[in-house]
Every structure is written in C-alpha cells, then in structure tokens.
C-alpha cells in the first residue's frame, strides 16, 4: 500500500479543484435568504457547481453555512456580512450530530477545509468564531471583521493552517483567543492585541509569522520586540517564527511557555535569563539555527521535546543546580539533535534527572567538573546514545570513580582531561606535606594566607600561617590543592 503525505493530498485536491474551476466563467450570485435553513433551495445544481462569488443577506443558521461549505466546491469569495445568524438545534448543521448552535456565532467547523476560499466577510453582530471555524483554509487571504464588530471569542484552532492569511483585525471587544487559534498562519504579517483581551490559549500563535503588539492598557498581556508575554513579563508566551538573529530574553522571565520558539528557524542564539525556572514542552522545538544553549543554574524543569530536532546544536552548557525533570522516556528533551555536540556539566549541578539526555544522538563529548560522579540511575539519563564513541572528560584523579559508578561506567572512553581552578607551579624552595590534618612546611613562614581547595576548586579551609605548621582540622583522605601566599601545591592525604 502506498501512503501519500497529507500535505500532498491537500495540494492534489487544490490542483483538481483549480483545474475544474477553469472550465467555468466567474459566476457571481447575490441571494436574500428569508427563511433560515432554506439556502439549499435557492440554487440550481449548475449554480452550486459554478458559483465563485456569493453574497448572502437575510437570515441564516448553521444549516445554511453547511450549504455554503459543502455544496459550492469552487466558491472563492463569500460575503455574508449583511446576514443575521440565528439559533439552531439539530443534526443538519456543520457537525454530523445533534448540536445546539448559538445565534451570532460562526459555528464549529463552519468552513473547515474550504481550500478554494480566498475571501470571507462576516457580520458585525457575530460574537463568536467557533472551534475550527475556518481551519485548514490554506488559500484564505482575507478575513473581514467589521470595525463595528461585537466579536468576543475566537475559539480554539479557529484559523489554524490558514497559511495564506495576511492580516486579521482583532476588535477591542475581544475577550478570548483560543488555543491554536492562529497556529500555522505562515504569512500573517502582524497581530495587534487590544486592551480587552483577558485570555490567550496555549499555542495560539505557534508557528505563526505575525509580529505581535499588545495595547499598553491591556491588564493581562504585554509585548516586547514583537514577542508576546504576560503583563509582568514573567512568562514568555510566543516568539513569531519570522524573528531572526539573537533573542535576548528579559531578565524578569521565569517561564518559557509551550512551543514558544517552535520552528523559529532563523534565530541563531537565545540568551536565557539567570532567574529562569521552567522551559516548557517543545519550547525550542526544531530551532535549527541555534548552535549554543546555556541552561542557567536556576532552571528546575525542562519539558518534553524542549530542544528536539535542534539539528545544529553543537554546545550545551548545563548549569541547572536542581533540575527535577528533563523530558521523559517517550519524549526526550534533546531527541533529534544530530550535530556533533559537547555537553558541559557545571560543578554546581547536583543531579541529572532520568532520561535527561536520552536519544541525544549528536552527543560526542561530555565534560564534567565533578570529581565524585553524580548519581544516575541505570544510565537512562544517557539512554540510546553511543557510549563507545562519546568521550567523557572527568577531573584529574577521578577516573577511578567513574569506571566503577553505575551508569557512568558504561562510557568506554573516559579521560582525565579536566583541569581544576588551581594548577601546580614551581614553588621556589617552599615545600609542605599534609600530616594528620596539619600542613607542615619545610621552613618558617610569616603571616602567609593559606587556602585549601578540593578537586573542584571549592575552598575547604582558609587561614594564616606563622611558623612551620598550620592546623586545618577538616582534611581527610583525598587530593587537595593548597595556596600559600603566592605559591601553589598539589598534595594527597592518604
């Protein structure tokens, strides 16, 4: 069986309809529908198949809208701005089941899949554009909402996949814009959100090109550099796919919303704020222009597919101190990241959650500053990646711990290449040993500051040396770095 992609099916349908329409002259028709539900009786079969422009006045309901959708296959321009839409309850509306349709409502699925429709004008009295009302009308260029509109609600997925829509007027009566309402509107130039809007659903402008401007008087939302935020700029809601170059996210942002940068192909870099807490599901999905990501130490959650298919990601700096979740087993955060990538794990990181870097096929080098391996569970943090070719660089003298640590021991190419903050130098005659918790010098010193560091560069002890020795009290077995005045030492306590 041959499976044809849905997009090709759409194009094939359009091609067939276009070829069919070429056999007819442009046909315009004006009708006044006096009785709601009777539009079907006002045309001949020849007219149904030939009308390209239709103007409807009078009284209509969901049955008449179904007639316009299903019985006029080459209709391109539809204007029913002079009509009155009334209540209807029954099985003959735009849905194939008994449904109650409100008055002044463009009903659910009203013009869904009307591939030939180019222009649509609605009445000023309409207060609701229903669920998927013009969904998948991918040739629709103009949707006219009158200046005097009473529109309050644009429901979920109302304009989804209206790929040719260039502009949309959102009147100052709108209260709610539903989930996915304008998703995949690839040619929408701009959207102005008025002060009246109090609710915007998730994915409302996902994969949408429109530059977003919010009225300054709006109490719920705001915009900055064409990007949509909540009023306090704590949540970055949506970045248009038309944005390019470097995006510097405001310092106030704590949450990057679901699919906020989804398919922003032209963005080359995103500067994440230092107080960021949450990177939501699919936040940077398929951002193929991004090469480097630095996760701040404040991040506690990274959603499923958050960086999936960022195919040019080459550097990931992971600094999240207490990140509790990164993707999940079925939807890893970094799946599809195929370019050769280096993961740098900061010494501030305290844990790596399950499945964090699973299916990260491009991961070729891991640099960790932890001399004692972070605990990972049965290696699922690095599940389904090549542990034979990936180089694991660990701090000097710590390989012995990694080769016996669950999960980490599965990496076959472990190297001690990480140099800590303190390096041994020529000590110009001064030597010392660590003996029973005391630093013993080979000669008398006076008022020299002393610092003792662990292998990660953390200060364990500080004091001032006078004479030939200094009590530290804190040092057990292990490798230490000691700075005495300007001299540096590397010593081992057995």
What would the pLDDT profile of 453-471 be if each residue is shown by its tens digit? Answer: 877 777 787 777 888 888 8
Would you list the domain boundaries of the chain? 1-243, 270-419, 432-493
Give per-residue pLDDT as tens, 251-266.
Answer: 999 999 999 999 999 9
Q: Token pair 């009147």 is at which residue?
A: 171
Q: In what order do the strands lie in the sheet with 142-144?
A: 28-33, 53-60, 77-85, 119-121, 142-144
Q: How far apart are CA 197 and CA 201, in angstroms?
A: 11
d(CA 120, CA 129) in angstroms, rounded, equals: 13
Please compute the mean of the pLDDT values over residues 12-16 and round it to a whole number.
Answer: 51
CB 359 within 8 A of CB 329: no
pLDDT at 11 over 60: no
Q: Note the pLDDT of residue 487.
A: 77
Is there a common fold for 1-243 and 270-419? yes
Distance CA 289, CA 312 (A): 6
pLDDT tens for 388-435 read 999 999 987 788 889 999 889 999 999 987 644 333 333 456 777 777
| pLDDT for position 276 | 97
* Structural tokens at position 142: 């103009």
Positive or negative, the Cα torsion across 75, 77, 157, 206? Answer: positive
Tell me the β-bridge partners of 365: 342, 391
Tell me: pLDDT of 13 over 60.
Answer: no
Q: What is the C-alpha to C-alpha distance for residues 202 and 292, in angstroms, rounded to an integer? A: 27
CA 283, CA 18: separation in Å to the nearest integer?
38
Task: Tell me the fold of 270-419.
Answer: 3.80.10
Q: Find all residues with CB under 8 Å of 314, minimum gap 6, and list them.
A: 291, 292, 339, 340, 341, 342
Q: Which CATH superfamily is domain 1-243 in?
A: Ribonuclease Inhibitor (3.80.10.10)
The pLDDT value given to residue 323: 94
Q: What is the mean pLDDT of residues 152-176?
A: 97
Per-residue tokens: 357: 């870097």
Band of residue 493 on the pLDDT scale cut at 50, 70, 90: low
Q: Which residue has the higher pLDDT, 105 or 386?
A: 105
pLDDT at 10 over 70: no
Instruction: Name the nearest CA neighbour of 480 among 464, 463, 456.
Output: 456
Query: Mapping DSSP to helix (H, G, I), strand (E, B) and coil, where does residue 292 land?
Result: strand
Tell me the per-residue pLDDT of 203-225, one tens digit each, with 9 for 90 and over. 999 999 999 999 999 999 999 99
Alpha helices in 171-218 (DSSP H): none
* 476 or 57, which is more confident: 57
What pLDDT is recorded for position 429? Answer: 64
pLDDT exceeds 80 at position 57: yes
For range 109-117, the mean pLDDT: 97
Question: Token digits for 471?
Answer: 């009590």
Q: How far apart are CA 25 and CA 311, in angstroms?
A: 49
Q: Is 80 helix (H, G, I), strand (E, B) or coil?
A: strand
The more confident residue out of 332 and 21 is: 332
Q: For 397, phi and psi rounded to 5 degrees?
A: 70, 10
Would you say how long the chain is, in residues? 494
Instruction: Give the tens place of pLDDT for each residue, 237-254.
Output: 999 999 999 999 999 999
The strand pair at 487-493 and 478-484 is best described as antiparallel
d(CA 391, CA 314): 15
pTM comes to 0.81
The whole-number pLDDT of residue 484 equals 81
CA dihedral 53→58→61→63, nearest 10 degrees, is -50
Mean pLDDT of 77-99: 97
Q: Tell me which of 269-273, 303-307, 474-478 is least confident.
A: 474-478
**Residue pLDDT, tens place only, 22-43:** 445 889 999 999 999 999 999 9
Averaged confidence pLDDT in the chain: 89
β pairing state of 88-90 and 99-101: antiparallel
User: Residue 434's pLDDT is what?
Assistant: 72
Q: How much is the pLDDT for 415?
A: 93
Q: What is the pLDDT of residue 133?
A: 98
Q: Averaged over 285-302, what is the pLDDT?
A: 96
């Amino acid at each position: 069986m041959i499976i044809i992609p849905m997009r090709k099916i759409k194009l094939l349908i359009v091609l067939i309809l276009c070829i069919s329409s070429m056999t007819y002259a442009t046909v315009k028709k004006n009708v006044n529908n006096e009785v709601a539900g009777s539009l079907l009786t006002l045309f001949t079969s020849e007219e149904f198949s030939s009308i390209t422009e239709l103007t409807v006045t009078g009284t209509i309901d969901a049955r008449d809208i179904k007639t316009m959708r299903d019985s006029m296959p080459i209709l391109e321009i539809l204007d029913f701005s002079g009509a009155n839409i009334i209540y209807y309850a029954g099985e003959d509306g735009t849905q194939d089941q008994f449904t109650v349709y409100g008055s002044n409502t463009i009903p659910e699925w009203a013009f869904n899949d009307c591939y030939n429709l180019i222009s649509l004008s609605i009445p000023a009295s309409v207060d609701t554009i229903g669920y998927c009302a013009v969904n998948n009308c991918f040739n629709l260029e103009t949707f006219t909402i009158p200046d005097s509109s009473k529109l309050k609600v644009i429901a979920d997925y109302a304009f989804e996949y209206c790929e040719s829509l260039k502009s949309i007027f959102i009147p100052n009566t709108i209260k709610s814009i539903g989930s996915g309402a304008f998703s995949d509107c690839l040619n929408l130039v701009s959207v102005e959100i008025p002060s009246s809007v109090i609710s915007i659903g998730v994915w409302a402008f996902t994969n949408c090109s429109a530059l977003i401007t919010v009225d300054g008087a709006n109490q719920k939302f705001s915009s900055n550099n064409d990007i949509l935020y909540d009023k306090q700029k704590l949540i970055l809601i949506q970045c248009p796919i038309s944005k390019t170059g470097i995006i510097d996210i405001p310092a106030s942002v704590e949450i990057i919303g679901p699919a906020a940068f989804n398919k922003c192909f032209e963005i080359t870099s995103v500067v994440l704020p230092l107080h960021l807490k949450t990177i939501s599901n699919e936040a940077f999905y398929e951002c193929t222009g991004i090469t480097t990501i630095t996760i701040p130490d404040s991040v506690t959650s990274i959603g499923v597919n958050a960086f999936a298919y960022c195919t040019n990601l080459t550097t990931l700096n992971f600094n999240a101190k207490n990140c509790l979740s990164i993707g999940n087993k079925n939807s890893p955060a970094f799946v599809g990241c195929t370019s050769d990538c280096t993961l740098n794990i900061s010494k501030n990181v305290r844990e790596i959650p399950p499945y964090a870097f699973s299916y990260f096929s491009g991961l070729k080098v891991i640099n960790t500053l932890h001399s004692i391996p972070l605990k990972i569970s049965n290696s699922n943090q690095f599940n389904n990646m090549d542990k034979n070719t990936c180089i694991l660089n660990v701090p000097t003298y710590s390989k012995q711990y990694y080769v016996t640590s669950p999960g980490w021991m599965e990496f076959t190419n472990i190297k001690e290449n990480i140099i800590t903050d303190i390096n041994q130098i020529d000590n110009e005659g001064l030597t010392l040993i660590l003996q029973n918790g005391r630093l013993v010098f080979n000669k008398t010193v006076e008022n020299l500051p002393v610092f003792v560091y662990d292998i990660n560069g953390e200060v364990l002890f500080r004091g001032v040396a006078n004479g030939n020795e200094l009590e530290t009290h804190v040092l057990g077995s292990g490798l230490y770095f000691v700075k005495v005045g300007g001299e540096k030492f590397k010593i081992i306590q057995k």
